[in-house]
């Protein structure tokens, strides 16, 4: 618990992480409510770090400042940061969590490296590259959250984290289509677009052509395949670490909302009322 952290500055840093997460990534914040109270500050720090890195594209005018920001995070994680790290609440909380929970720094650095893709408007070539991107970001977060919950010991379920992270990432990226189109970016793999006769330009300009709609359906099918594969490995997860997988319970409800007649991928904001998300997470936590 935050109250158990002896350094008041660290307590404030963890409180800042929770506030940031609640405002910017409510699904993960809600899932943390079902974790033991002692683990929540560390989960907040991990997810707030991910949120901070994910938002870099939105706050820079061109890639170079983003690259500088990412290098700042690499230096902080590798112990080469400057004195301003102590003044950065997310960084100070995360570094304490890394030490307390024995998180692999390489996995956090790899997440930063993967997010470099966000800074540019390059196409996503194929599913192999897409899976790699999701694996270093979304899947890695599940894996590290599992380590936090299992007190640094191997929590098992590595395949569940891998597949589940990809499924969760696909749902999130499909929900974010309006934002990505607004900034001329597309995460849909060219391999999937080509398979359905769609072109990347339609996704970039926000044109919901029949072929693009078919490609989006193909992505939802891929998400469901990964979700099913993750469930096969659930039995291998240490009981203490299962709360790390709770956000996966929201994948199918989000996908179903993309299959209604009213759905317009570049105009519809796919949301689920918070009370219903809490109920879904509560039911799965039981």
pLDDT digits (tens, 9 = 90+) for 166-208: 999 999 999 999 999 998 899 999 999 999 999 999 999 999 9
Residue 260 to residue 175: CA distance in whole angstroms: 14
The span from the CA of 80 to the CA of 49, in Å, is 18
Q: What percent of the chain has pLDDT over 90?
A: 88
Query: How high is the mean pLDDT of the chain?
Result: 94
Same fold, 1-103 and 121-286: yes
Considering the segment(s) 121-286 as one domain, its CATH architecture is Orthogonal Bundle (1.10)
**SS3 at position 261:** coil
Instruction: Show me where the domains of the chain are located.
Output: 1-103, 121-286
CATH 3.40.50.2300 is right for the domain spanning 1-103: no
Q: Find out whether 244 and 145 touch, Cβ atoms under 8 Å.
A: yes
- Residue 80 has phi, psi (to 5 degrees) of -115, 15
Query: What is the distance between the alpha carbons of residues 230 and 232, in angstroms, rounded to a whole number?
Result: 5
Indicate the length of the chain as a whole number. Answer: 286
Under 8 Å CB-to-CB from 144, ≥6 apart: which residues?
46, 103, 104, 107, 108
Cβ–Cβ < 8 Å for 238, 155:
yes
pLDDT for res 3: 46
């Amino acid at each position: 618990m935050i109250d158990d952290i002896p350094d008041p500055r660290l307590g404030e840093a963890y409180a800042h992480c929770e506030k940031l997460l609640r405002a910017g990534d409510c699904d993960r914040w809600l899932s943390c409510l079902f974790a033991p109270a002692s683990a929540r500050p560390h989960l907040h720090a991990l997810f707030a770090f991910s949120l901070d890195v994910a938002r870099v594209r939105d706050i820079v005018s061109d890639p170079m400042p983003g690259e500088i920001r990412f290098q700042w995070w690499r230096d902080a994680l590798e112990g080469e940061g400057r004195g301003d790290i102590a003044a950065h609440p997310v960084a100070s909380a995360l570094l304490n969590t890394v030490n307390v929970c024995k998180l692999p720094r390489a996995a956090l650095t790899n997440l930063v490296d993967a997010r470099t893709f966000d800074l540019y408007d390059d196409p996503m070539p194929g599913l192999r590259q897409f899976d790699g991107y999701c694996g270093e970001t979304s899947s890695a977060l599940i894996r590290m959250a599992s380590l936090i919950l299992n007190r640094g010991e191997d929590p098992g379920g590595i395949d569940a984290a891998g597949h589940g992270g990809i499924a969760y990432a696909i749902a999130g990226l499909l929900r974010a289509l309006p934002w990505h189109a607004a900034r001329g970016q597309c995460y849909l793999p060219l391999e999937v677009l080509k398979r359905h006769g769609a072109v990347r330009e339609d996704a970039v300009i926000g044109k919901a052509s029949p072929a693009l709609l078919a490609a989006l359906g193909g992505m939802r099918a891929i998400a469901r395949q990964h979700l099913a594969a993750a469930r096969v490995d659930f039995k291998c997860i240490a009981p203490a670490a299962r709360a790390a997988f709770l956000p996966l319970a929201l994948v199918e409800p989000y996908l179903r909302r993309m299959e209604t007649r009213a759905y317009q991928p570049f105009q519809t904001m796919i949301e689920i009322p918070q009370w219903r998300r809490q109920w879904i997470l509560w039911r799965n936590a039981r």
